[in-house]
Amino acid sequence: MIPQTIQRKLIFFKKLKRKVVVLIAFLTDWGLKSHYVGVAKAVMKQINPKVDIVDITHEIEPFNVRQASHVLYRASLDFPTNTVFLVVVDYGVGTARKAIVMKTKNGQIYVGPDNGVFTVVAEEYGVQELREIANRDLFYKKDPSFTFHGRDIFAPVAAHIEMGTPLESVGPRLLYYEALRIKKPSMIGDHLEGEVAVVDTFGNVSTNIPFGLLVGLGVEYDDTVRVKIGKKEYKASVAKAFGDVEPGELLVHPDSAGFLEIAVNLGNAAELLQVSEGEEVEVWR
């Protein structure tokens, strides 16, 4: 008979262990018209019927790794430590590109292709551990499909890690990962430089420039700044919210993740500026 005090401690540590990894966050470019998302979730549920899966989005522009990298980082800011992120934007599926697991220094774990999709989280959080997925015992099928690694490799590996499988069981360590060339945000004299990170459904143009850098230039709300994209230049009001300016007026404001966003009140900034993700942006006092 185990004494009650020991029993209470055992229950406490079992609950604590269950909370070490809390959920799987799922991001792809698959869309929702096909069956791909559903079957990948079914594979994870077969491994762990109680797994909690949160869909970040499945509407990443097809093959757009740069967009996915920025969206992934912004989403990760609101997920708890030890979340497992399953990311499948994989234009090189079936080729020599590696399948990897990355643990960042903030304790989050990322599973997906080694094609640059983890660039921003790796740079922002730092990499603690990096491994190639090589253990076929963790695969859904020992001979995976050449074109559906999301179902046969990434989804089951994410589910096994969520259940507590140690990273050393996944495969050998790696020293390097593929990284995208991203224009890092910077303050140069009296202007800021960066790139367009995400264009959302409303046409809001979110940059990778922290809004705090604009404050560092001495700019305040209700001031006017110049936004330069290529050879084109626009004037924009600095505001807290869309409705602080007149309908159709261009503004810059802090987005929900704390980055400088260019928007049009009740309009589409991406169309007005004729800008797309990855383009370089300058903001001048």
- Give the Cα separation of 213 and 271 in Å (integer): 26
Q: How do residues 226-244 score in pLDDT, each as one tens digit?
A: 999 988 999 999 999 999 9
Residue 71 has pLDDT above 70, yes or no: yes
Cβ atoms of residues 45 and 39 within 8 Å: no
User: Which tokens is 85 given?
Assistant: 């992120």
- Give the Cα separation of 156 and 28 in Å (integer): 15
Strands 250-254 and 53-57: unpaired
pLDDT at 263: 98
Q: How do residues 104-124 score in pLDDT, each as one tens digit?
A: 999 999 999 999 999 999 999
Q: How do residues 171-182 score in pLDDT, each as one tens digit?
A: 999 999 999 999
| Full-model pTM | 0.89
Between helix 155-162 and helix 36-47 the angle, nearest 10°, is 30
**DSSP label at residue 98:** P
For the chain, give the percent of residues with pLDDT over 90: 86
- Give the Cα separation of 199 and 202 in Å (integer): 8
- Give the Cα separation of 29 and 126 in Å (integer): 25
Cβ atoms of residues 120 and 73 within 8 Å: yes
- Give the Cα separation of 227 and 257 in Å (integer): 20
Domains of the chain: 14-169 (3.40.50.10790), 186-284 (2.40.30.90)
Q: How do residues 47-57 score in pLDDT, each as one tens digit?
A: 999 999 999 99
- Give the Cα separation of 225 and 223 in Å (integer): 7
